[in-house]
Structure 1
Amino acid sequence: MAAALIWISLLVGLLEGLGGTEAQQTTLHPLVGRVFVHTLDHESFLQRPEHVFSVSAPIPITYHAHLQGHPDLPRWLRYTQRSPYQPGFLYGTATPEDRGHQIIEVTAYNRDSFNTTQQMLVLLIGDPEGPLLPYQAEFLVRSHDVEEVLPSTPASRFLTALGGLWEPAELQLVNITSALDRGGRVPLPIEGRKEGVYIKVGSASPSPPA
Structure 2
Amino acid sequence: MNTSKINIYNIFGISLWFIMAIIINYTMITKSSDIEKNINETEVFYYEIQPELFNWTNGIDGNMFNYTPSLQNYPDLPYWIHYKFNEKNKFGYIYGTPPISSENQIKLDIVGLNRMTYQVLKKVIQLYIKKKEELAKYEVQIKINNLNIEDMFEQGRIKSLLDIFRQHLWRESEFNVYMTKLASTRELGQRVPLDPKDQEGVVVFIGSATNFSSTLYELEKEISPLHKLIKCPKDFKRTSVERYFRNNNFNLDWCSFRLVILSRNNYIKSVSNENFKTLKNYEENIWELMEPLHNL
- Normalised by the length of structure 2, the TM-score is 0.62
Q: CA deviation at 1:85?
A: 5.6
Q: Deviations 1:25-81 (Å, cap 9, x if unpaired)?
A: 111222111111111111111x15xxx54xx42342121111122211111111111
Structure 2 counterpart of 1:28 = 37
Show the 5 A alignment for 1:81-100: 81-83=85-87, 86-97=90-101, 99-100=103-104
Q: CA deviation at 1:7?
A: 4.1
Structure 2 counterpart of 1:180 = 186
Alignment CA distance shift 1:205-1:141 (3 Å): same
Show the 5 A alignment for 1:75-154: 75-83=79-87, 86-97=90-101, 99-129=103-133, 131-154=134-157
Alignment CA distance shift 1:75-1:7 (3 Å): closer
Structure 2 counterpart of 1:74 = 78
> Which one has a larger percent helix, Structure 1 or Structure 2?
2
Q: CA deviation at 1:11?
A: 4.1
Q: For residues 92 and 120 of structure 2, what CA distance do their matches in structure 1 show?
A: 15
- Normalised by the length of structure 1, the TM-score is 0.85
Q: For residues 68 and 143 of structure 1, what CA distance do their matches in structure 2 show?
A: 35
Q: Match for 1:39: what amino acid?
A: E
1:5 aligns with 2:13: yes
Structure 2 portions without partners, runs of 5+ = 1-5, 219-296
Alignment CA distance shift 1:152-1:174 (3 Å): farther
Q: Higher relative contact order at CA 8 Å, sep ≥6: structure 1 or structure 2?
A: 1
Q: For residues 114 and 84 of structure 1, what CA distance do their matches in structure 2 show?
A: 23
Q: For residues 157 and 169 of structure 1, what CA distance do their matches in structure 2 show?
A: 13
Moved over 6 A (4+): none
Return the index of the structure with the highest Cα Rg. 2
Q: Match for 2:191: what amino acid?
A: R
Cα-Cα RMSD:
2.3
For the residue of structure 1 that corresponds to 2:186, the secondary structure is: helix
Q: For residues 156 and 135 of structure 1, what CA distance do their matches in structure 2 show?
A: 19
Structure 2 counterpart of 1:161 = 164
Structure 1 counterpart of 2:201 = 196
Q: How many residues align?
A: 202
Q: CA deviation at 1:132?
A: 2.7
Q: Deviations 1:170-198 (Å, cap 9, x if unpaired)?
A: 3211111111110022223443x001111
Alignment CA distance shift 1:84-1:98 (3 Å): farther
Q: CA deviation at 1:14?
A: 5.2
> Which one has a larger percent strand, Structure 1 or Structure 2?
1
Structure 1 portions without partners, runs of 5+ = none
Show the 5 A alignment for 1:48-63: 48=56, 53=58, 56-59=59-62, 60-63=64-67
Alignment CA distance shift 1:44-1:188 (3 Å): same
Q: Deviations 1:97-131 (Å, cap 9, x if unpaired)?
A: 263221111101112222111011111212023x3
